[in-house]
Amino acid sequence: MQKSKITTIIIDDEKLAREITKGYLKNHPEVEILAECSNGFDAIKKINELKPDIIFLDIQMPKISGFEMLELLEEPPVIIFTTAFDHYAIKAFEVNAADYLLKPFSEDRFNDALKKSFNFLQDKFEHDAVIKNIIDYKDEKIEYLERVVIKEGSKISIIPVETIKWLEAQDDYVMINCDQGRFLKQKTMKFFENHLNENNFIRIHRSYIINVDFIQHLEQTGKESYQIILKNNKQLPVSKTGLAKLRNTL
């Protein structure tokens, strides 16, 4: 490596956990701690600004999880997950993260994880593929979304799914129409169709998914054509398949 030191940021909402990690790192003078963060929002800012080589990342944090945070990073570093929940640890293994540390972890176990992360740094291309696997894995494993995280420049918005009124296909993106406004998310309509509760959200057309709570009424516009009128008077077309789904759900 060209740099004299390997740089890192510690991300954990528990101060004691951050202190333990810092204590173990004192025996590794080759590693420089650039920052420590107690939440995902601060961590995104610090990672994009300081560009560390490695991060110690707690998965379960308030407001935004470690998995959600990864999706918003411009250049994800090598990751060592830290968690108190072993089911997350298993996930971390399955997606080939550099390593995971199940709290409470020993110094020997910490040293092993750090060594593995050094090996990951040797092959940046492989690491980028690992990051993509982690994000894809998160998308595959979640059952129903509870919120959608959007990053626009330096602004991060968290949208509770119950505030979403309808979704609209926009080429490689999906336009989310909700109480807070309109937001573009780089996902497919199929992703949202698979990860929104089908009792609340129905794909009524190849380009539209609606929240049934915002339906005002269904209107026939021709012999075999229908449209949905939402409570804000927005009119959306309904396909034959969408009509069948509506009839089965409502």
Q: How many CB atoms lie within 10 A of CB 249?
A: 12
Specify the residue for token string 């540390």: 101
pLDDT digits 0-9 by tens, 1-13: 456 789 999 999 9
The amino acid present at 148, given as its one-letter code, is V
Phi, psi of 3 (to 5 degrees): -75, 150
Across the chain, mean pLDDT equals 86
| DSSP 8-state symbol, 196 | S
In 84-123, at which residue ranges do the beta strands (DSSP E only) sit?
A: 99-102
Question: Which two structure tokens, joined as six digits, stand for 193?
Answer: 């169709």
Determine the 3-state secondary structure of 6 from DSSP: strand
Q: What pairs with residue 221 in β-bridges?
A: none
Does pLDDT of 126 surpass 70? no
User: 58, exposed or middle or buried, with CB in 10 Å at 0-12, 13-18, 19+?
Assistant: buried
Question: Which two structure tokens, joined as six digits, stand for 217?
Answer: 């009424």
Distances (CA, A) of 109 to 70, 101, 104, 115: 24, 7, 10, 10
pLDDT digits 0-9 by tens, 11-29: 999 999 999 999 999 999 9
- High-pLDDT (> 90) share of the chain, %: 51
User: 204, exposed or middle or buried, with CB in 10 Å at 0-12, 13-18, 19+?
Assistant: buried
Q: Is the Cα dihedral 85, 96, 64, 44 positive or negative?
A: positive
Distances (CA, A) of 212 to 149, 183, 226, 241: 22, 20, 16, 16
> Do 229 and 235 form a contact (C-beta atoms < 8 A)?
yes
| DSSP 8-state symbol, 162 | G
Provide the pLDDT for residue 1.
46
Does pLDDT of 250 surpass 70? yes
